[in-house]
Chain A
Amino acid sequence: MKAFSYERATSPAQAASIVASKPGARFLAGGTNLLDLMKLEIETPSHLVDVQDLKLDRIEKTDQGGLRIGALVSNTALASDETVRRDYGVLTRAIVAGASGQLRNKATTAGNLLQRTRCPYFYDTNQPCNKRKPGSGCAAIDGFSRQLAVVGTSDKCIATYPGDMAVALRVLDATVETVLPDGKVRTIPLADFHRLPGTTPERDNALEQGELITAVTLPAPIGGTHIYYKVRDRASYAFALVSVAAVLRPDGTGRVAFGGVAAKPWRVEAAEAALPQGAKAVADRAFADAKPTPDNAFKIMLAERTLAAVIDQAKG
């Protein structure tokens, strides 16, 4: 871990302006991912701005009948919130499918969105990795890639976004609210929040330097049957091989997003429209442009079959 300086911010705008003004500055919230990465010197911030005092830890109703989730609401608090459990069940189910109780107590809503990839080559600083060290190459593409992305990849990077919560947020059409260093606020649809790697895999998301997430908002509840199905190599405490977040209506229509397959929660609205025709019709469309490696090609069939299990489950 590189030595760093540390301060605690007193307002979101102040936090944003400090991070924008200091090269190498980063926000610190729960620290469940950032501190690990700092120990390994995958992340080497020179300055940490701790945002834990910013009182962004409330869940409130919005005027539109939805929910506004503060950036610092813990995963545990969000998953156990009565309204979330009743009206946004897919979100609760996704959150409790991830990490452990201890980590969920510490991890925050905004931090979870910013979780970095778990690609093993990203984690080994001896190895080339375009996301960790731009221009150094990608060891994963021709290496051990079983866990990695099958769609939306580039010849620079095949990392996945590893989280579960964001996959549920994606089917719920969530929006990310931020404050910019100049104090202005902006909203980013979750669909546009995470970036595909393209030629700049080092950038995971649409945030600018210093831009601070203040909340995630959910539109009014959409009803339906909420399911999150996460498939992994062991029964708990592992990242998804494939996950499916779905909200399904009795007529067979609905929404679906896949986790563990891309650098972002993978939802293709045109594919989703095929839900009444079944899992294969959806998967064929959602993964039409997939470029899997020999190691991870199984994920496409697994995505289809997991969706089929979800559709079956929704029928009760």
Chain B
Amino acid sequence: MEFNAPAGENLFDKAKIVGKSTPRIDGPLKTTGKAPYAYERHDVVAGQVYGYIVGAAIAKGRIVSMDTAAARKAPGVVGVISTLDHAKPLPPGMQNNAPLFGGAQVAHYHQAIACVIAETFEQARSAAALILTRYDRAPGAFDLARAAPDAPLAKGDGGKPDRATLGDFDKAFAAAPVKIDARYHTPDESHAMMEPFATIAAWEGEKLTVWTSNQMIAWAKKSLGTILGIAAENVRVDSPYVGGGFGGKLFIRADAVVAALAAKAVGRPVKIAMQRPLMINNATHRHATIQRVRIGAEQDGRITAIAHENWSGNLGGEDGENGTLQTPKLYAGANRLTANYIATLDLPEGNAMRAPGEASGHLALEVAMDELAEALGMDPIELRIRNEPETVPATPEMRFSSRNLVRCLREGADKFGWSRRSAEPGKMREGNWLIGMGVAAGYRGGPTATSGARVRLTGDGGMVVETDMTDIGTGTYTIIAQTAAETMGLPLEKVRVTLGDSAFPASAGSGGQWGAASSTAGVYAACLNLRRAIGQKLGFNGEDATFENGRIRTGAKSFALADAGTLSAEGEMTFGKFKSDYEVGTYAGHFCEVAVNVYTGETRVRRMLAVCDAGRILNPLSARSQVIGAMVMSVGAALMEDLAVDKRFGFFVNHDLAGYEVPVHADIPHQDVIFLDTTDAIVSPLKAKGVGELGICGPGAAVANAVYNATGIRVREYPLTLDKYLDKLPRYS
């Protein structure tokens, strides 16, 4: 069915299950170890052997020779595959800049060049170390700051140069009585998800099955077909549980491709998990950015000119990290410029990581707003409210579907005790700790995409939902069950949800914060078809009947749902053109209080609050979990996460979880999340938007602004580690 007009009043407005805090239905399986992740699927196919990927030891160049003889003779080894087995690289799948396997060229450090297959993991790993590879090293570009000045504009919409203007920025900026002009740096970051890339691959004739960990099943199926040169129909992808992806698992990576090639080569199912160093240098990461923000304003705070320019780099000059994405949407201002430049680098491949673009962009824009507020002598919340736009600032003909940013900021300020903040930085102190508060606004789109499902009555009063939608730890199982239970009038426990199998109808998948809104709409569409089918079978009009408490009431008649026996229906929600008249976004006010040690510069986050405006919240319990998780990730981005680039050898040096530090429990204080009680009729029949990325858009800037408020020292290079401001801290007594 097509969602082709704003949603009117519907069953979700009187919901009993949707919108209620509901513990994850998959929780017991996960807490008892009964939810098998890709590498643990010992029972799906017999005779599994272990693959161990060898990564290239250079960043760029050519493999001159590879001696695998010793590895082949090592105990337990059943085969070795080499990139040199292929005269040229395998074709790329979706969003693969560098080939995942094949050919003698090395495009980046730890690119897969071989795989040893053995009876045990230990045998495979041990034999992999026996492979001797000789390289011809080529020079490469590894330094974004050096490459940025000559970087061309990235490709924007329709392949056009990614630069947009409105009015005359230069003139307005020159004339503005108050202005700021600042540059910010954000580092390369790793997704650092707990579950590594992992795949078990098995062939049956021409048919390939991969049990893997992937966010986008339909894309995975298509890409594997492309890369391996087989028909997509011959590929089955199964990924019911995903131990974190954060965008890293949107696309097929080397684990799946190499496992498939290895399984073919040895004639047995092959399982591969990527070792942690390869997670960082073989797979993808969030690209570093350099951002310049210029804002000019009247004395009363009204913005007259705003420019946001962004530089990042990637292999082959492909997609970078576009930090400007939120800037056309957030604040008013008649004269505007955004531009996005992309340099060609030979570092490992950059790609999507949770809120690509905006997560980094807010770290610049929302600190720039703090700097402007100070230049104006104005409260930073008031400055933002002063610049709340009527319509989309950069495209004034577009309306907002629903936007309550001002409420987020005002209600957050009340709840957080913002009035206790000292406007003058460096003035609040408790013992040896300097105390500061910071605020940032947050914006992230609320997109939807076509999503399908199959729903089946099991004949015993229960039902099953089948869709290739994934649950990447987000709580998708539960919101899908809630949606189906609500629509079919069943208690939650009567709904079984099965996900992640490409044999099921294709869904929108998990990414870009579109999963929750899209997949529940798809399940709703399928349920409506099932209601019609039940009506046909039992002789009533399914559209008018009431489905409640496991029963169907229509006129004077009443049936038990079980009376319909076993029935199945598929459905798909597509989203109509009318939506393109609207900017559908999610908004937040983010607040943070930090303490900075006056001696050592250590920063401790003391309190955090997010007030979110994202339409109907399908499951406040799991939505809160999404937002606080994103806030943790934001603390990481603000204070510690940094893939260290070796600019000589071209790789990320700190390629394990000891060297790449993410926040631990001791870094994270109590976090509060408030969801505004709003609905957005432009999104879907459920009037709900995702929050998983909204939560990482802004909190990092709130941390940075709080550090400034505490210390009076503005650091514009993330992460804000103490070495960057230690020399500017007050002299100790």
User: Residues of A with Cβ closer than 8 Å to B?
Assistant: 1-3, 39, 41, 118, 120-121, 123-124, 126-127, 139, 142-144, 146, 229, 231, 233-239, 241, 279, 298, 301-302, 305-306, 308-309, 312
Number of interface residues of B (CB under 8 A): 43
Q: Is the CB of B726 within 8 A of A298?
A: yes
Q: Is the CB of A41 within 8 A of B599?
A: no
Question: Assuming the A-B contacts A120-B654, A238-B661, are A127 and B649 also in contact, with contact meaning beta carbons closer than 8 angstroms in the complex?
Answer: yes
Nearest residue in A to B662 (C-beta to C-beta)?
A234
A-B contact pairs, 8 of them (CB 8 A): A3-B75, A41-B129, A126-B58, A233-B722, A241-B722, A298-B722, A305-B601, A306-B600
Chain A contacts for B602, CB-based, 8 A: 231
Chain A contacts for B629, CB-based, 8 A: none
Chain A contacts for B654, CB-based, 8 A: 120, 144
Q: Is the CB of A305 within 8 A of B732?
A: yes
CA distance in complex: A229, B646 (Å)? 30
Q: Is the CB of B666 within 8 A of A236?
A: yes
Q: Is the CB of B57 within 8 A of A302?
A: no
Q: Is the CB of A123 within 8 A of B126?
A: no
CA distance in complex: A39, B661 (Å)? 21
Instruction: Give B592 Cβ to nearest chain A Cβ, in Å.
Output: 16
Q: Cβ of B663 < 8 Å from any Cβ of A?
A: yes
Q: Is the CB of B666 within 8 A of A124?
A: no
Instruction: Give A32 Cβ to nearest chain B Cβ, in Å.
Output: 12
B58, B723, B729: the one contacting A146 at CB < 8 Å is B723
Q: Is the CB of B600 within 8 A of A234?
A: no
Question: Assuming the A-B contacts A143-B646, A143-B648, are A124 and B277 also in contact, with contact meaning beta carbons closer than 8 angstroms in the complex?
Answer: yes
Q: Which B residues between 540 and 568 are near A, CB-CB below 8 angstroms?
A: none
Q: Is the CB of A146 within 8 A of B644?
A: yes
Q: Is the CB of B599 within 8 A of A235?
A: no
Chain B contacts for A1, CB-based, 8 A: 122, 125-126
Q: Is the CB of B599 within 8 A of A234?
A: no
Chain A contacts for B645, CB-based, 8 A: 144
Known: A120-B644, A235-B604, A305-B601; 7 extra A-B contacts, CB below 8 A, are A124-B655, A139-B646, A144-B654, A234-B661, A236-B665, A302-B600, A309-B599
Nearest residue in B to A41 (C-beta to C-beta)?
B129
Chain A contacts for B653, CB-based, 8 A: 120-121, 124, 143-144
CA distance in complex: A238, B722 (Å)? 15
B 708-721 binary contact with A (CB < 8 Å = 1; else 0): 00000000000001
Chain B contacts for A233, CB-based, 8 A: 639-640, 661, 721-722
B 370-413 binary contact with A (CB < 8 Å = 1; else 0): 00000000000000000000000000000000000000000000
Q: Is the CB of A301 within 8 A of B727?
A: yes
CA distance in complex: A41, B125 (Å)? 10
CA distance in complex: A279, B723 (Å)? 19
A interface SS class: loop
Q: Is the CB of A3 within 8 A of B664?
A: no
Q: Cβ of B597 < 8 Å from any Cβ of A?
A: yes
Question: Assuming the A-B contacts A41-B129, A120-B654, are A234 and B664 also in contact, with contact meaning beta carbons closer than 8 angstroms in the complex?
Answer: yes
Question: Assuming the A-B contacts A143-B648, A305-B726, A312-B599, are A235 and B667 also in contact, with contact meaning beta carbons closer than 8 angstroms in the complex?
Answer: yes
Instruction: Give A24 Cβ to nearest chain B Cβ, in Å.
Output: 16
Chain B contacts for A123, CB-based, 8 A: 656, 659
Question: Assuming the A-B contacts A231-B602, A234-B640, A308-B732, are A118 and B658 also in contact, with contact meaning beta carbons closer than 8 angstroms in the complex?
Answer: yes
A3, A118, A142: the one contacting B648 at CB < 8 Å is A142
B 47-78 binary contact with A (CB < 8 Å = 1; else 0): 00000000001100000000000000001000
Instruction: Give B487 Cβ to nearest chain A Cβ, in Å.
Output: 45
Q: Cβ of B4 < 8 Å from any Cβ of A?
A: no
Q: Cβ of B419 < 8 Å from any Cβ of A?
A: no
A3, A139, A235, A308: the one contacting B649 at CB < 8 Å is A139
Question: How many CB-defined contacts (below 8 Å) exist between A and B?
Answer: 103
Instruction: Give A139 Cβ to nearest chain B Cβ, in Å.
Output: 7
Question: Assuming the A-B contacts A144-B644, A305-B599, A312-B599, are A298 and B723 also in contact, with contact meaning beta carbons closer than 8 angstroms in the complex?
Answer: yes
User: Residues of B with Cβ closer than 8 Å to A?
Assistant: 57-58, 75, 122, 125-126, 129, 277, 432, 597, 599-602, 604, 639-640, 644-646, 648-649, 653-656, 658-659, 661-667, 721-723, 726-727, 729, 732-733
Chain B contacts for A146, CB-based, 8 A: 644, 723
Chain B contacts for A118, CB-based, 8 A: 658-659
Question: Assuming the A-B contacts A123-B656, A139-B649, are A235 and B664 also in contact, with contact meaning beta carbons closer than 8 angstroms in the complex?
Answer: yes
- Enumerate the 9 nearest inter-chain pairs by beta-carbon distance, A residue then B residue, closest first: A309-B599, A235-B666, A126-B57, A298-B723, A236-B666, A144-B653, A144-B644, A120-B653, A235-B667
CA distance in complex: A279, B570 (Å)? 73
CA distance in complex: A39, B122 (Å)? 9
Chain A contacts for B729, CB-based, 8 A: 305
B57, B75, B125: the one contacting A39 at CB < 8 Å is B125
Nearest residue in A to B75 (C-beta to C-beta)?
A3
CA distance in complex: A235, B722 (Å)? 13
Nearest residue in A to B604 (C-beta to C-beta)?
A235
Chain B contacts for A143, CB-based, 8 A: 646, 648-649, 653
Q: Is the CB of B726 within 8 A of A302?
A: yes
Chain A contacts for B667, CB-based, 8 A: 234-236
CA distance in complex: A260, B644 (Å)? 19
CA distance in complex: A81, B535 (Å)? 74
Chain A contacts for B662, CB-based, 8 A: 234
Chain B contacts for A126, CB-based, 8 A: 57-58
Instruction: Give A195 Cβ to nearest chain B Cβ, in Å.
Output: 24
B75, B648, B722: the one contacting A302 at CB < 8 Å is B722
Instruction: Give A271 Cβ to nearest chain B Cβ, in Å.
Output: 18
Chain A contacts for B722, CB-based, 8 A: 231, 233, 241, 298, 302
Chain A contacts for B639, CB-based, 8 A: 233-234
Instruction: Give B666 Cβ to nearest chain A Cβ, in Å.
Output: 4
Nearest residue in B to A238 (C-beta to C-beta)?
B661
Nearest residue in B to A313 (C-beta to C-beta)?
B432
CA distance in complex: A305, B729 (Å)? 10
Nearest residue in A to B644 (C-beta to C-beta)?
A144
CA distance in complex: A279, B600 (Å)? 13
Instruction: Give A2 Cβ to nearest chain B Cβ, in Å.
Output: 6
CA distance in complex: A144, B647 (Å)? 9
Instruction: Give A87 Cβ to nearest chain B Cβ, in Å.
Output: 27
Instruction: Give A239 Cβ to nearest chain B Cβ, in Å.
Output: 8
Instruction: Give A27 Cβ to nearest chain B Cβ, in Å.
Output: 22
Nearest residue in A to B725 (C-beta to C-beta)?
A298
Instruction: Give B386 Cβ to nearest chain A Cβ, in Å.
Output: 37
CA distance in complex: A118, B659 (Å)? 9
Nearest residue in B to A237 (C-beta to C-beta)?
B664
CA distance in complex: A144, B646 (Å)? 6
Nearest residue in B to A239 (C-beta to C-beta)?
B658
Q: Is the CB of A231 within 8 A of B600?
A: yes
CA distance in complex: A279, B733 (Å)? 11
Chain B contacts for A121, CB-based, 8 A: 653
Instruction: Give B137 Cβ to nearest chain A Cβ, in Å.
Output: 12
Nearest residue in B to A147 (C-beta to C-beta)?
B659
Chain B contacts for A236, CB-based, 8 A: 664-667
Nearest residue in A to B599 (C-beta to C-beta)?
A309
CA distance in complex: A118, B666 (Å)? 22
Chain B contacts for A312, CB-based, 8 A: 432, 599, 732-733
CA distance in complex: A139, B653 (Å)? 11
CA distance in complex: A144, B655 (Å)? 12
Nearest residue in B to A118 (C-beta to C-beta)?
B658
Q: Is the CB of B726 within 8 A of A301?
A: yes
